[in-house]
Every structure is written in structure tokens, then in C-alpha cells.
Amino acid sequence: MKTNFEYLMKLHPCFAAGAKNYKGRVHLPVSPGCNIFCKFCKRSFNDTVNRPGVARGIISPSEAVETVRKAVALCPDITVAGVAGPGEPLATPYALETFRLIKKEFPDIIKCMSTNGLLLPDYAEDIIEAGIDSLTVTVNAINPDIQARICEGIVYGGKFVAGREAAEILIANQLSGIKKISGAGITVKVNTVLIPEINAGHVTDVSKTVAEHGASIFNIIPLIPQHGLSWCSAPDCGLISKARTEAEKYIKVFRHCQRCRADAAGIPGSRDISRMIYITPVIPE
Ligand code: SF4
Ligand code: SF4
């Protein structure tokens, strides 16, 4: 199936706006672990909290395919199958395995993945081969000093790397990965978490740089102050709006993100079918 940005604008609920915003997505929580340590990240397993990083449990790639079957039967407006956590999809093999299986059984469904980008250069070929149509990369800073205040460190090449050195590796891999993936014709969306006390004055630079590397759309996500960044404030509407207006000088800006759970299913902000499809989740120990 041929997909490009214009096609995604018509059929992907997160790209479409206004009247087109009636399409659905199913998030498949197949990715348990992560390879970086964002200070604001609080992953958890429950049935109630509505935010990224939360799921009822982890499912296997074959359970994920079964979940897509159930989801499209219940909600035929679902056009997208995505992996967005609760951990990092490239830190374990399950997300790519899931997409390979989905590609075989549902050749027309749009395949979407969210990554922190650390391993993007290593897995770019696999992402292309798995048929992923849309990739979201979370880039919170392109200045290593700022990034080091947001993320404590990374696990890279089997070693823990901390601080500025970790930030340099992460940023370099995110940008070269975005270039590689967008160069292959895959639409790249960049998410940036807006943290008033840390990166508010830097978001425009991020938008400009990721656009130069081939990203097509930019999503500014307001910080949920928690975990290691509970001392920060949630940005107010004025700050979010200002950041979006500034970023829009360089890249198309996405404005209606619902900050979905890692097992969200249905139509964002309207129909939720997740309780009907995730019946026997497995809570990791
Ligand atoms: Fe959490 Fe995602 Fe950051 Fe990993 S990349 S620490 S899962 S927010
Ligand atoms: Fe779309 Fe935002 Fe939900 Fe992701 S979190 S599926 S971008 S609305």
C-alpha cells in the first residue's frame, strides 16, 4: 500500500484534523523495557490512568495480531495499528515482530511506531522492511546540556552512559535516524515534551532542526509533572500556544494529541473500545 504524508492526513486519526478526525487506532502494548531514563517517565500497569506509559499489561506479538482482529471487528473505523510503549519499541524485538505479522494479515492497515530514537540508525532497515508507514520520534532537546537535564542516561552498546555524553549520543542517533527514515519515504512525526523550566525556550530550535532532517510534523506535548520532574510545572495554554506558533514557522504542527495510553483503542477523544479487547493482560513482575 502506498502511504505518504497526504495519505496519512486523510486516514490517520492523529494526522487528520477537523471533519476527518473520525478514524481510529489501536495501540499494542508489546514493548516492556526501555533503554533510556527520561526523568518525567512513570510507567505503570493499571486500568484507569489516562496517559502515555500506562497499559493494562504486556501482550505478545501473536496476541497483538489477535487484538487487531478484535479491534477492527468492533470498530471498523480503525485505520491504524501502533506501538507506543509502554516501554521503548526498539529496546526489545517484539514491536518489529508484531509489525511483520500485521503486515501479512492486514496489508492495508497503517502501521505506526513511537520511539525515543536511540537505536534508530541500527534498526532503520528493519523498520523499512517491516512496512512501518509512520514513525514518531520523541526529541526533547537538540542541545546536549538541555537534554542531560531531561534524561539521566542511556543504555547503549551494553553499557550505561550518563549525563552529557549520553545526551550527545541520543541526539546524534535521533537526528541521523530521522534523516534515514524520512529519506526512505516514511512520514516522521516528532514529539517534544514541553517542560517550562527546562526546554521552553528551546522548542523552536528543536522544530527547525528536525524539519531540516526530514520530519514532516511536530507535536508539542505538555509535561505531566511527575517522577524526577515533579518539581517542574505543567505548561499553561499561553506557553503551549506560543511554542506551537513559533514551531509552525519551520514545520507543520499537530495540535490535537490526546496523550493516549499505550493500550488505547478506538477513536481518540471519542470512542474507547480498549476495555473490550484487552481481556487477559499479563502484568510483568
Ligand atoms: Fe519512558 Fe519513553 Fe523515556 Fe523510555 S523513552 S524512559 S518509556 S518516556
Ligand atoms: Fe495520536 Fe497523540 Fe494518541 Fe499518539 S498519543 S495516538 S499522537 S492522539
Residue 226 φ then ψ, to 5°? -160, 170
pLDDT at 19: 37
Mean pLDDT estimate for the chain: 91
Across 105-112, average pLDDT: 95
In DSSP terms, 155 is beta-bridged to 160
Residue nearest to atom 5 of ligand 1 (CA): 116
CATH number of domain containing 139: 3.20.20.70
- CB of 55 closer than 6 angstroms to any ligand 1 atom: no
DSSP 225-261: --GGGTTSPPPPHHHHHHHHHHHTTTSEEE-------
Identify the domain containing residue 170 by its residue range.
5-277
Alpha carbons 95 and 75: distance in angstroms, whole number: 23
pLDDT at 284: 55
pLDDT band at 237 (very low <50, low <70, confident <90, very high): very high
Complex ipTM value: 0.89
Question: Does residue 283 lie in a domain region?
Answer: no
Question: Does residue 153 lie in a domain region?
Answer: yes
Per the structure, how many domains does the chain have? 1
Amino acid making up residue 91: A
Question: Does residue 285 lie in a domain region?
Answer: no
pLDDT at 89: 97
Residue of 38, 115, 119, 137 with the most ligand 1 atoms within 8 Å of its CB, for mutation: 38
- CB of 25 closer than 6 angstroms to any ligand 2 atom: yes
